[in-house]
Amino acid sequence: MNSDRREFLLKSARTAGLVFLGGLIWSAYVDEVTASKLILRPPGALNEKDFLSTCIKCGLCVEACPFDTLKLAKPGDNKPLGTPFFTPREIPCYMCTDIPCVPVCPTDALDEKLVSTNEALDINSAQMGVAIVDSQSCIAFWGIQCDACYRACPILGQAITIEYEKNARTGKHSFMKPVVHADACTGCGLCERACVTDKAAIFVLPREVALGRAGNHYVKGWDNEDQNRVKNAREIKTTTELSKDSAIDSLNDMKGLLDD
């Protein structure tokens, strides 16, 4: 009888263990499938799809970070398990000039080429995300003098500038509105960390989420570099019943309008 009881307990323990292990595996799968699109990755990270297929979750980048900015996702974080991320409001990226987290990556999921200029590491070329200002909760837009995010920005006067605007309500003060320039912002999050409001009025989002895309068929006529992008474009003309005549003739055509 005791032998049967022991065997029953052992089988029960094994079953419980297998169920627990299966739950962990399923949780990891669900986390990866439903992971938030708002994850901020270390500097030099490949696009999210390539990053997830390349990162081996070794944690070397996390160990290399001298500020404990990077964390490895754990169960419950709603992020792919074991992958590195950071939360700017807690600990932002402090923009190390030697970017120690990138060269240690053994698979190039963090690619040195993406944070290099003229083959030299350049943290200012990082694109971890981009800062967004909530003008409804930013007290600078209320007329209260605050430039905390501007002062905290490591690329002072480039990634964030201050736009001065007359305060018509008082007639004698000016608004000091922060403006983020996406082409210079690295997404380090130092501005978000410095924001004085209870919940940050400036916050970093992944660039794919925060930024729109105009499309290749629109051109900046004042930008020579953008003009060069379409210098080999060919004109395509389409002809319709309306376009057979000139625009003026078409507008002056009264046929059909004067008929009874």
Q: What ranges in 67-206 are assigned the alpha helix state H?
A: 148-152, 190-194
In this predicted model, what pLDDT tens digit does every residue of 72-125 receive, in sequence order? 999 888 899 999 999 999 999 999 999 999 999 999 999 999 999 999 999 999
pLDDT digits (tens, 9 = 90+) for 116-136: 999 999 999 999 999 999 999
User: Considering only CA atoms, which of 32, 30, 25, 54 is closest in space to residue 42?
Assistant: 54
DSSP state of 39: P
pLDDT of residue 225: 83
- pLDDT digits 0-9 by tens, 4-17: 666 766 666 677 66
Of the candidate ranges 114-118, 136-140, 183-187, 216-220, the one whose mean pLDDT is the lowest: 216-220
Distance CA(50)–CA(62), nearest Å, equals 19
CA distances from 217 to 230, 237, 252 (A): 9, 15, 31
Structure tokens at 248: 């003026």
State yes or no: pLDDT of 20 exceeds 70: no
DSSP symbol at 140: G
Percent above pLDDT 90 for the chain:
62
Query: What structural domains does the chain harbor?
Result: 38-128 (3.30.70), 129-210 (3.30.70.20)
Strands 202-205 and 130-133: antiparallel
| pLDDT for position 237 | 76
More confident residue, 239 or 146: 146
The pLDDT of residue 249 is: 74
Half-sphere exposure of 166 (CA within 13 A, CB side): 3
Q: Which two tokens stand for residue 251?
A: 């507008």
37-76 pLDDT, tens digit per residue, is: 889 999 999 999 999 999 999 999 999 999 999 999 998 8
Give pLDDT, residue 258. Answer: 60
The pLDDT assigned to 239 comes to 75
Whether residue 200 has pLDDT greater than 80: yes
3-state secondary structure of 21: helix
Tokens of 215: 């499309």
Q: Is the pLDDT of residue 260 over 60?
A: no
Does the pLDDT value for residue 196 go beyond 80?
Answer: yes
Strand-pairing partners, residue 159, are none
Q: What is the pTM assigned to this prediction?
A: 0.75
| pLDDT 10s digits, 139-168 | 999 999 999 999 999 999 999 999 999 888
Residue 156: both structure tokens together: 């002072």
pLDDT at position 165 is: 92
Q: Of the candidates 172, 102, 127, 177, which has an alpha carbon nearest to the alpha carbon of residue 147?
A: 177
Neighbours of 105 (CB within 10 A): 22
- Of 131 and 2, the structure prediction assigns the larger pLDDT to 131
For every residue of 163-176, DSSP letters joined together read EEEEETTTSSEEEE
